[in-house]
C-alpha cells in the first residue's frame, strides 16, 4: 500500500504496518504488505468471483459516523455482492483516501473495526493503497470469493414463469437512515442498526447455488434490483407489494402512514437492504420458504409491473439510479 500521507505521527509505512498488516492474518499472498502486488491462490475446480464497491463520507454514510461502524458497513456491503453470487469470500484489497478530519486516532479505530469484522467473516487483507485528500473520506474495496467452477449465479438466468423471491424484510435500512436523521421513531435502535451494520446473506450461499437461476443483492432498492435481473434476463417481472416481508418496526411505521400504497413503494425503493432477490423455479418454492424466504411475484414475458391490492401502479425508478 503506497501513497503520500502528510499527517503527523507515524509515517505512511509505519501506519500500514500498525493498522493494516495485522489484517492480513498471516496470509502468504499478502506478502506482508511489503510489495506493490499480491498473490491469489488458484484452486483446481473453483472460480474466483470479484466485486468492487466504494463508500464516500456524506454520500454512503453520515458525516461523523463512528470509524468502526464505517469499517463494518464497508466490509458488509461488499460481502453482500458475493453472497448474491453464491461465493465464499476469502480476501480483499482496499484503497483509502484519508481526509483532514481523520486523524490517527480515527484511523486506528477504523482499522480495529476492520479487524473485528474480517475475523468474523474469515477474510484477509491482501493489499491496496492509501492517499490523503482535501475532500471527504473515501474507502474502496475489491473483494474476492470462491465458488465451484461454472457455479457463479448471475443476474441473467431468470426465465418467464420463475418465482420472484426475497430473502428477508424489506425497507428497514431506508427507515434506519431516516431514524438516524430523527425523522422516524426507533426506540430500540433496530432500524438504525440495519443501516449501519447490514448482514450479508452469506448463510444462504448453498441455497443460492442450489435454487437460484438469477440473483442480486438489494442495494439500489427491491423494485430496481428486481428490474435489473429482468432486464439482464430479457424478460419482465411482476412485483406484488402486498406480499412484501416486513419487520415489526417497518410494520409499525407503515400502520401510521396515511398513504399505504406510497409507503410500500418507499420501502420497496429505499435500498440498502442487502437482502437477496432471486429468480427460482416453482419447484424450488418449498426449499426457499423453509429457509425464511418469501415469494413476492414472478418473472413474465413482456413488460415489468408493480402491483398493489390487485391493480398495477406506477412505482417510478424503484430505487437508486446511477446517472
Domain boundaries along the sequence of the chain: 12-148, 163-313
- Starting at the edge strand found earlier in the chain, the sheet holding 305-308 runs 212-217, 276-280, 163-166, 294-300, 236-240, 305-308, 311-313
Q: Cβ distance 162 to 299 under 8 Å?
A: yes
* pLDDT score, position 7: 43
Residues 295 and 287: their CA atoms lie apart, in Å, by 12
Q: Cβ distance 176 to 191 under 8 Å?
A: yes
Residues 74 and 121: their CA atoms lie apart, in Å, by 13
Residues 217 and 215: their CA atoms lie apart, in Å, by 7
DSSP string, 217-265: E-SS-HHHHHHHHHHHHTSEEEEEGGG----HHHHHHHHT-S-HHHHHH
Q: How many residues does the chain have?
A: 323
Give me the tens of pLDDT residue by residue for the chain, a chain 323 residues long. 544 444 446 777 788 889 989 889 889 888 888 778 888 877 889 999 999 999 999 999 999 999 999 999 999 999 999 999 999 999 999 999 999 999 999 999 999 999 999 999 999 999 999 999 999 999 999 999 999 999 999 999 999 999 999 999 999 999 999 999 999 999 999 999 999 999 999 999 999 999 999 999 999 999 999 999 999 999 999 999 999 999 999 999 999 999 999 999 999 999 999 999 999 999 999 999 999 999 999 999 999 999 999 999 988 877 655 45
Q: What is the Cβ-side half-sphere exposure of residue 56, based on CA atoms within 13 angstroms?
A: 5
Residues 308 and 313: their CA atoms lie apart, in Å, by 7
Grid coordinates representing 288? 426457499
DSSP string, 110-164: HHHHHHHHHHHHT-EEEEEEEEE-SS--EEEEEEEEEEETT-PPPSTT--TTPEE
Residues 246 and 252: their CA atoms lie apart, in Å, by 9
Report yes or no on whether pTM surpasses 0.85: yes
Q: What is the Cβ-side half-sphere exposure of residue 206, based on CA atoms within 13 angstroms?
A: 3
**Best CA proximity match to 240, nearest among 215, 268, 214, 276:** 268
- Exposed / middle / buried, residue 46 (Cβ in 10 Å: 0-12, 13-18, 19+): middle
**Best CA proximity match to 91, nearest among 49, 60, 139, 59:** 49
* pLDDT score, position 37: 83
DSSP β-bridge partners for residue 64:
none
- What's the topology of domain 163-313? Phosphoribosyl-aminoimidazole Synthetase; Chain A, domain 2 (3.90.650)
- What's the topology of domain 12-148? 60s Ribosomal Protein L30; Chain: A; (3.30.1330)
CA 248 to chain centre: 22
**Best CA proximity match to 77, nearest among 315, 271, 281, 298:** 271
Residues 227 and 216: their CA atoms lie apart, in Å, by 10
* pLDDT score, position 17: 86
Amino acid at each position: 500500500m503506497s501513497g503520500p500521507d502528510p499527517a503527523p505521527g507515524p509515517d505512511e509505512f509505519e501506519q500500514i504496518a500498525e493498522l493494516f498488516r495485522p489484517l492480513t492474518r498471516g496470509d502468504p499472498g499478502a506478502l506482508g504488505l511489503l510489495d506493490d502486488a499480491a498473490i491469489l491462490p488458484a484452486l483446481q475446480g473453483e472460480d474466483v468471483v470479484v466485486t468492487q464497491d466504494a463508500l464516500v463520507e456524506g454520500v454512503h454514510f453520515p458525516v461523523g459516523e463512528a470509524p468502526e461502524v464505517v469499517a463494518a458497513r464497508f466490509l458488509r456491503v461488499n460481502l453482500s455482492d458475493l453472497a448474491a453470487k453464491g461465493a465464499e469470500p476469502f480476501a480483499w484489497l482496499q484503497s483509502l483516501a484519508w481526509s483532514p478530519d481523520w486523524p490517527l486516532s480515527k484511523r486506528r479505530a477504523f482499522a480495529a473495526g476492520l479487524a473485528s469484522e474480517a475475523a468474523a467473516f474469515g477474510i484477509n487483507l491482501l493489499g491496496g493503497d492509501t492517499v490523503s485528500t482535501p475532500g471527504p473520506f473515501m474507502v474502496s474495496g475489491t473483494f474476492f470469493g470462491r465458488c465451484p467452477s461454472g457455479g457463479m449465479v448471475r443476474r441473467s438466468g431468470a426465465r418467464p414463469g420463475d418465482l420472484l423471491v426475497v430473502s428477508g424484510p424489506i425497507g428497514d435500512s431506508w427507515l434506519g437512515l431516516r431514524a438516524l436523521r430523527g425523522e422516524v421513531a426507533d426506540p430500540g435502535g433496530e432500524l438504525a442498526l440495519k443501516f449501519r451494520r447490514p448482514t450479508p446473506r452469506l448463510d444462504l450461499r448453498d441455497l443460492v447455488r442450489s435454487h437460484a437461476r438469477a440473483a442480486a443483492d438489494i442495494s439500489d432498492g427491491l423494485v430496481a434490483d428486481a428490474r435489473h435481473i429482468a432486464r439482464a434476463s430479457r424478460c419482465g417481472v411482476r412485483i406484488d407489494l402486498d406480499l412484501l416481508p416486513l419487520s415489526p418496526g417497518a410494520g409499525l411505521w407503515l400502520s401510521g402512514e396515511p398513504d399505504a400504497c406510497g409507503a410500500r413503494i418507499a420501502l420497496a425503493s429505499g435500498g440498502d437492504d442487502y437482502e437477496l432477490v432471486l429468480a427460482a423455479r416453482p419447484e424450488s418454492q418449498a426449499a426457499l420458504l423453509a429457509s425464511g424466504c418469501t415469494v413476492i411475484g414472478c418473472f413474465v414475458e413482456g413488460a415489468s409491473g408493480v402491483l398493489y391490492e390487485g391493480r398495477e401502479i406506477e412505482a417510478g425508478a424503484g430505487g437508486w439510479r446511477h446517472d
